[in-house]
Amino acid sequence: MTGVLSGCGLGGGSGEVTLKLVAADYGDSAANSSKKYWADLVEAYEARHPDVHVEVSVYSWTEVDRKVRRMVDAGEAPDMAQIGAYADYAAEDRLYRAGDVLSIPVQADFVPQLARAGEVDGVQYGMPFAASTRLLFYNKTLFHKAGLKPPTTWAELASDAAALEDEGVTYPYALPLGPEEAQAETLQWLLSGGGGYTSTVGGYSLDAAENVETFTWLKDELVGKGLTGPVAPGKLNRAAAFAAFADGRVGMLNGHPSLMKTAAAKGVKFGMVPMPGKDGAARNALGVADWMAAFKQNGHGEQIGDFLDFVYSEKNVLAFSREYDLLPVTMSASGVMATAAGDQDLKPFLDELPLAELYPVGRTSWATVSAAVKKQIGTAVQPGASPALVLGELQTRAMTADTGTSG
């Protein structure tokens, strides 16, 4: 009987409640593990709410989504999960709507395009938890030696890469289309060519003419001319590209805010500019968000909402963003960061956020499409390959996944 009442949302009205949260680890060492962030936050919350206990399990990004999926499939869903995607659970009717748990001021404080990206059929289920944008990083020392200015167009980028190659730079432009995060580099380039993963009417458009033109240019003007380094783009992962930049072996690459700290720690002098577009600065930058989802199974909606209101307070959002060089997901915290002297290194990324385009995470098919892009897109720039054929195959996979007919 207790289980039935809890399932109806009536089981948490009185007495002590334990909320279970599964979260991803944003740290790169034990010293800055997300376990410490959550432990401090939970301690502060429980001091004010002695009847509510919050148990947090933190997993690496390589396993957190899989862990949550297994818990849900076993009928043991956590109360909250801070993960990479939410649409599958929303489609299965397992999630509270954001408006069912958050207070109105907190929900209204989300950065608008992040809140929209959390919607399925116009209803917000995904609550943005962390965000970042991408800029083109360039090595100032290498650029100065070659007498270059940072590029603003594709032609200038190719010309700069050729000059860096003449100077013996290992990776004139690092193009990580390996399976780790190829979907990010791909979308950044598609946006710079006026395309993207989806069309304005909402369907997938991977094989659009603009996208084929973009990858044909990459294949012919960068990869084909030996300007992307000794590792084939389809074999080069983002982590390896970032490490090479921090070692001073990369002239240019797309990077997110955490690269600043890594490069600075190695003494690399770098600059950052918006991603060049075909004929000028790209119209949209790539935006990436991670998500908080609230599960209905245990019927703790009231307590979940109260805890998440605390999580999304200006103070806590700023603390998380500053610890991990990420962008705030709320307007109030963004306003503080935009003007605070200590946050000026993040301001160029913050400036990109209002025009950023995110992955189509509101589609249950996105996980399948993203996996296909990671696996195949590197082949589009191989010698002798047909970008149109590869993008066409990906479009077919996307349409099949979108209509639910894939296996």
Per-residue confidence band for 11, with pLDDT thresholds at 50, 70 and 90:
very low
What is the rounded average pLDDT of the residues 360-364? 91
Per-residue confidence band for 375, with pLDDT thresholds at 50, 70 and 90:
very high
Whether the per-residue pLDDT at 8 is higher than 90: the answer is no
Spell 180-212 as b/e; 16+ CB within 10 A means b: bbbbbbbbbbbbbbbbbbbeeeeebbbbbeebb
Per-residue confidence band for 403, with pLDDT thresholds at 50, 70 and 90:
confident
The structure's pTM equals 0.87
Q: Do 315 and 121 form a contact (C-beta atoms < 8 A)?
A: no
Q: Quote the distance between the C-alpha of residue 321 and its chain's center.
A: 14
Check residue 32 and give its pLDDT.
Answer: 86
- Give the 3-state DSSP-derived string for the chain, with helices as H, strands as E and coil as C: CHHHHHHCCCCCCCCCEEEEEEEECCCCCHHHCHHHHHHHHHHHHHHHCCCEEEEEEEECCCCHHHHHHHHHHCCCCCCEEEECCCHHHHHCCCECCHHHHCCHHHHHCECHHHHHHCEECCEECCEEEEEEECEEEEEHHHHHHHCCCCCCEHHHHHHHHHHHHHCCCCEEECCCCCCCCHHHHHHHHHHHCCCCCECCCCCECCCCHHHHHHHHHHHHHHHCCCCCCCCCHHHCCHHHHHHHHHCCCEEEEEECCHHHHHHHHCCCCEEEECCEECCCECCCCEEEEEEEEEECCCCCHHHHHHHHHHHCCHHHHHHHHHHHCCECCEHHHHHHHHHCHHHCCCHHHHHHHHHCEECCCCCCCHHHHHHHHHHHHHHHHCCCCCHHHHHHHHHHHHHHHHCCCCC
Check residue 405 and give its pLDDT.
Answer: 42
Check residue 13 and give its pLDDT.
Answer: 45
User: 373: burial class by Cβ within 10 Å (0-12, 13-18, 19+)?
Assistant: buried
Provide the β-strand partners of residue 120. 123
Per-residue confidence band for 14, with pLDDT thresholds at 50, 70 and 90:
low
Whether the per-residue pLDDT at 2 is higher than 70: the answer is no
Cβ count within 10 A of residue 84: 18
- Mean pLDDT for the chain? 92
What's the one-letter identity of residue 338? A
Check residue 77 and give its pLDDT.
Answer: 98
Whether the per-residue pLDDT at 18 is higher than 60: the answer is yes
Check residue 373 and give its pLDDT.
Answer: 96
Check residue 284 and give its pLDDT.
Answer: 86
Q: For 137, list phi and psi in degrees, rounded to 5.
A: -90, 140
Distances (CA, A) of 395 to 8, 197, 234, 258: 41, 9, 19, 32
Whether the per-residue pLDDT at 349 is higher than 90: the answer is yes
Q: Do 212 and 391 form a contact (C-beta atoms < 8 A)?
A: yes
Cβ count within 10 A of residue 386: 16
What's the one-letter identity of residue 327? L
Whether the per-residue pLDDT at 286 is higher than 90: the answer is yes
Per-residue pLDDT reduced to its tens digit, 109-161: 999 999 999 999 999 999 999 999 999 999 999 999 999 999 999 999 999 99
| Joined tokens for residue 37 | 């962030």
Residue 249: HSE in the Cβ half-sphere, 13 Å Cα cutoff: 12
Residue 340: HSE in the Cβ half-sphere, 13 Å Cα cutoff: 13
Helix axes 258-265, 238-246, angle to 10 degrees: 40
Per-residue confidence band for 355, with pLDDT thresholds at 50, 70 and 90:
confident
Per-residue pLDDT reduced to its tens digit, 84-114: 989 999 999 999 999 999 999 999 999 999 9
Per-residue pLDDT reduced to its tens digit, 20-73: 999 999 987 788 899 999 999 999 999 999 999 999 999 998 899 999 999 999
Going by C-alpha positions, the residue among 267, 233, 265, 269 that lies closest to residue 251 is: 269
Q: What percent of the chain has pLDDT over 90?
A: 87
Q: Do 289 and 131 form a contact (C-beta atoms < 8 A)?
A: yes
Per-residue pLDDT reduced to its tens digit, 43-58: 999 999 999 999 999 9
